[in-house]
């Protein structure tokens, strides 16, 4: 069968898009430029999102005490030793909100990465309430010269959830930022967490229709995980009945139901996350590398004879 994305996998893969654009493998290199967030520094709140311990996910080379150049050099060396593959590299400003600073400071930080001889583009992870017209105009200009993607942490489409996790912005903020970013011709991605406390299976899957109405270039999914030293981990200890953690087979079924209703135009970056074992307090642990998980998901897509967007036309329209 020919799918709209013109390759044989049953979902629209971000990695295939990068290979098509650059003619080979592309690897994101995570960076920590020392940013914070407005729900951490007191401008909107304190403590950050209840699920967040960003340091738990940073690679060993990724420390704000190091310059951007040093982090990139060490990241490239790390990947060459570990994987022994030939890559091209994107600088991924990942930790916290990477647009939360004056624009001149931001330009100086981004340009350290852009000027690295082995970097072919940048990816900027941030919150939807941390962009403005001046910054988006700068990104629009930059996107005409290099590969540039802006990825917004949406996490959930539901206000009840955003309030519960101390997110500090609304879903309307997310929609506005995505529309204004994509409207400038900038590749626009989003991150979602599947299985937030208080969300039913039906609510989780219904978000596919909501997201399909937005001009998103890509999506990244993480299953809910309890991370050491977070507010959410403490909330779980106090009342575990408020949480549901999916076994791997159930999670795969949910993600396939979600995919069926998702626009085929949206590229999928990943379906699940891998928290480091020392900080992962999630009571349901899968014990699988992501590549093994992905193989299971793709086999199940074949067994169900379904694919991304199969129900999109009839359920959410065009």
* pLDDT tens digits for range 169-213: 999 999 999 999 999 999 999 999 999 999 999 999 999 999 999
Dihedral of alpha carbons 156, 226, 95, 30, sign: negative
For residue 197, the tally of other CB atoms under 10 A from its CB is: 18
Architecture of domain 14-311: Alpha-Beta Barrel (3.20)
pLDDT of residue 318: 38
pLDDT of residue 2: 77
Contacts of 3 by beta carbon, 8 Å cutoff, 6+ apart:
9, 10, 12, 264, 307, 308
Q: In this structure, are strands 88-93 and 119-126 parallel, antiparallel, or unpaired?
A: parallel
| pTM over the 0.85 mark | yes
For tokens 């087979």, what's the residue? 249
pLDDT of residue 317: 40
Q: In this structure, are strands 218-223 and 267-270 parallel, antiparallel, or unpaired?
A: parallel
Question: Cα(200)–Cα(216) distance, rounded to whole angstroms?
Answer: 24
- Annotated domain spans of the chain: 14-311
Q: Which residues of the chain have pLDDT under 50?
A: 314-318
What are the two backbone dihedrals, phi and then psi, of residue 194, each rounded to the nearest 5 degrees? -95, 125
The beta strands (E) that lie in the chain are given as 26-31, 88-93, 119-126, 147-155, 187-194, 218-223, 267-270
Whose CA is closest to 182, among 126, 120, 139, 130? 139
Q: What angle do CA 258, 199, 311 make, to 5 degrees?
A: 20
Question: Cα(66)–Cα(199) distance, rounded to whole angstroms?
Answer: 39
What are the two backbone dihedrals, phi and then psi, of residue 133, each rounded to the nearest 5 degrees? -60, -40
């Amino acid at each position: 069968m020919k799918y709209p994305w013109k390759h044989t996998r049953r979902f629209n893969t971000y990695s295939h898009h990068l290979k098509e654009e650059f003619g080979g493998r592309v690897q994101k290199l995570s960076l920590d430029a020392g940013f914070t967030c407005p729900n951490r520094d007191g401008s909107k709140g304190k403590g950050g999102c209840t699920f967040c311990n960003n340091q738990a996910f940073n690679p060993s080379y990724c420390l704000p005490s190091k310059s951007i150049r040093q982090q990139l050099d060490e990241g490239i060396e790390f990947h060459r030793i570990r994987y022994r593959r030939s890559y091209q590299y994107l600088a991924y400003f990942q930790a916290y909100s990477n647009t939360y600073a004056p624009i001149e400071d931001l330009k100086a930080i981004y340009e350290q990465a852009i000027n690295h001889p082995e970097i072919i583009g940048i990816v900027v992870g941030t919150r939807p309430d941390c962009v403005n017209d001046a910054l988006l105009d700068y990104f629009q200009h930059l996107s005409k010269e290099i590969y540039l993607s802006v990825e917004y942490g949406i996490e959930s489409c539901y206000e009840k959830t955003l309030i519960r996790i101390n997110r500090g912005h609304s879903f309307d903020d997310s929609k506005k930022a995505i529309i204004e970013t994509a409207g400038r011709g900038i590749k626009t991605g989003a991150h979602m967490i599947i299985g937030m406390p208080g969300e039913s299976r039906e609510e989780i899957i219904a978000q596919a229709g909501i997201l399909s109405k937005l001009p998103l270039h890509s999506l990244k999914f993480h299953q809910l995980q309890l991370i050491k030293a977070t507010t959410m981990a403490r909330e779980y200890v106090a009342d575990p009945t408020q949480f549901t953690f999916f076994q791997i087979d159930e999670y795969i079924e949910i993600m396939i139901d979600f995919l069926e209703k998702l626009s085929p135009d949206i590229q999928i970056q990943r379906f699940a996350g891998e928290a480091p074992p020392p900080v992962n307090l999630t009571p349901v642990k899968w014990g699988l590398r992501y590549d093994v998980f992905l193989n299971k998901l793709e086999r199940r897509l074949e067994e169900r004879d379904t694919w991304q967007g199969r129900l999109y036309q009839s359920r959410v329209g065009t």
